[in-house]
Chain A
Amino acid sequence: MAAASKAVVTVLGFDRKGIIARVSTVLFERGINILDISQTILDGYFNMVMMVDLSEPTCPFDELQSDLSALGKELGLQIRIQKNEIFEAMHQI
């Protein structure tokens, strides 16, 4: 997991207004660029997957992780950030 790595932010839970806005704000404030977003809503259940660039963060990974998870608690959603390597390992040869 080198310094110029990517991570995946996932947001799961019931849909409500402003989810993307709030998540993007947290990322923006910490110097993190969003590379790709995909989002689906199935039966009111919200799934968002965001690919982000961690090459110029202004805070440590742990702090970013706890900020996102705190936002998740506030919004009643599960928000996670994981390094991209885990998905590459499992799904690419």
Chain B
Amino acid sequence: MIQTNQILETLRMIDQEKLDVRTITMGISLFNCVCDDTRRLASRVYSRIARQAENLVKVGREIEREIGVPIVNKRISVTPVSLITGAVDDPKPIALALDRAAKETGVDFIGGYSALVPKGMTAADRRLIASIPQALSETDLMCSSVNVASTRAGIDMDAVRLCGKAIKDLAERTKTRDGLGCAKLVVFSNAVEDNPFMAGAFHGPGEGDCAVSVGVSGPGVVKRALENVKGASFDVVAETIKRTAFRITRVGQLVAMEASQRLGVPFGIVDLSLAPTPAIGDSVAHILEEMGLEKCGTHGSTAALALLNDAVKKGGVMASSHVGGLSGAFIPVSEDIGMIEAAACGALTLDKLEAMTCVCSVGLDMIAVPGDTSAATIAAIIADEAAIGMVNNKTTAVRIIPAPGKTVGDYVEFGGLLGRAPVIPVHPFSSEDFIARGGRIPAPLHSLRN
């Protein structure tokens, strides 16, 4: 029998601490759409998604109403588009088909306009990467990603260079909206195939026909739990986070099982992530500050984040039958009120963020840099982050916005979950010759594990 105080505690988590499920994401394989005629391919892609996901939003809302926990987004991820466009000349009509299918099904985002190129690019991969700026600037709900590195294969520096250029071009094409297009493009190292979170979601080639996965959230709940153990040792802090993460993840598992059953689609994974939003009381940075840091980004932030990231996983893993995706704490700058404040007051710099990405879930996320940052500098930032992922056997990513016409101290405003961010400085010294070399950075010695 559930106790009254437990019921009231759950209500408090929902009302005051912003407990929510961030997303139900349906992964859909598009391999059965493959053909060598662009128009027919686009039409098959549209029909496949529209049919498979027709009830996704309805079921998501039903579950949300019945359990009383908000499910903020409903999303779709698809097979990386470069893998299904090998026999056609132009992938852009597929981008339009994805966007139309997303609108038809009523989801918030669709991800998978992607290429997986850690070791090299096929002609289709090159066409897709070249088309990203136009495709993202001409669609509304579509997200794109490129995996440029892996621990097994090393870093494809030609792809890194192309991504740097694509990001600059994309910012320019969406300059009236502060370079919003760049918020929909993620460049990965060690990308995972079952990530339900945007903008980097795609339905990997190792996945089945269809699966539903859930991404949980709940930084506010963790912060509140830590408020009750002020001054206690880190042993207590870690245990408190674990217990809280367990509860949050149980909600995710419940939602995932219900969605799977009602949609008649296999359950994929629960992604144990603390995903913040720009709302007050929903910040990962504030959890780190609750541990005793005056501002996120100051000395101690990396250690605090390492503890948080690990405790979230340890607490969550027992609460779900299948854990996957990115699973860890996210530290996007524009999407987290505490990160925004820390970056604005100078406590949080790009270099510190890079250090923090060694121990968190993903990487340099939603960071605004000056509009005159060169493509080579952006590519070099990507290379650094890819190297961290490659050497440490973890996923890292870069989602960076060279804000057109803006400089340090200005703000970019995206609104909604994407939030707002202060423009932070990059190093003024050139990486031009480094990026011009091209080729591959070899995989590290510890990639040879057989």
Interface residues of A, Cβ cutoff 8 Å to B:
1, 8, 10, 12, 38, 40, 47, 49, 61-62, 65, 80-92
Contact = CB atoms under 8 A, between A and B. Distances in A.
A88 B4 contact: no
Given A1-B66, A1-B258, A49-B4, A90 B247 contact: yes
A40 B4 CA distance: 10
A65 B250 contact: no
B67 A82 contact: yes
A47 to B, nearest CB: 7
B232 interface: no
How would you classify the secondary structure of chain A's contact residues: helix, strand, loop or mixed?
mixed
A8 B11 CA distance: 11
18 contacts: A8-B2, A8-B7, A38-B4, A49-B4, A49-B7, A81-B68, A82-B68, A84-B2, A86-B10, A86-B69, A87-B2, A87-B10, A89-B250, A89-B251, A89-B253, A90-B10, A90-B251, A91-B247
Contacts of A81: 68
A91 B11 CA distance: 13
Interface in B1-27: 2-4, 6-8, 10-11
Nearest to B63: A1
Nearest to A81: B68
A64 to B, nearest CB: 11
A42 to B, nearest CB: 11
Contacts, number: 56
Contacts of B247: 90-91
Nearest to A35: B1
B254 interface: yes
A87 B66 contact: no
A88 B11 contact: no
A91 B2 contact: yes
B8 A83 contact: no
A55 B240 CA distance: 37
How would you classify the secondary structure of chain B's contact residues: helix, strand, loop or mixed?
helix
A49 B4 CA distance: 7
Contacts of A87: 2, 6-7, 10
Contact of B7 (A1, A10, A65, A92): A10
Interface string B233-275: 0000000000000010011011000100000000000000000
B8 A47 contact: yes
Contacts of B68: 80-82, 86
- Residue of A38, A80, A83 with most chain B CB atoms under a 10 A cut-off: A83
A90 B258 contact: no
A49 B7 CA distance: 8
A86 B8 contact: no
A49 B8 contact: yes
Interface in B39-85: 65-69
Given A47-B8, A91-B6, A82 B251 contact: no
Contacts of B2: 8, 84, 87-88, 91-92
Contacts of B65: 61-62, 65
A81 B66 CA distance: 8
Contacts of B253: 89
- When A and B form their complex, which 7 residue pairs have the shortest distance between CB atoms, in order from nearest? A82-B68, A86-B67, A89-B250, A91-B6, A89-B254, A87-B2, A83-B66
A49 B5 CA distance: 9
Contacts of A88: 2
A1 to B, nearest CB: 6
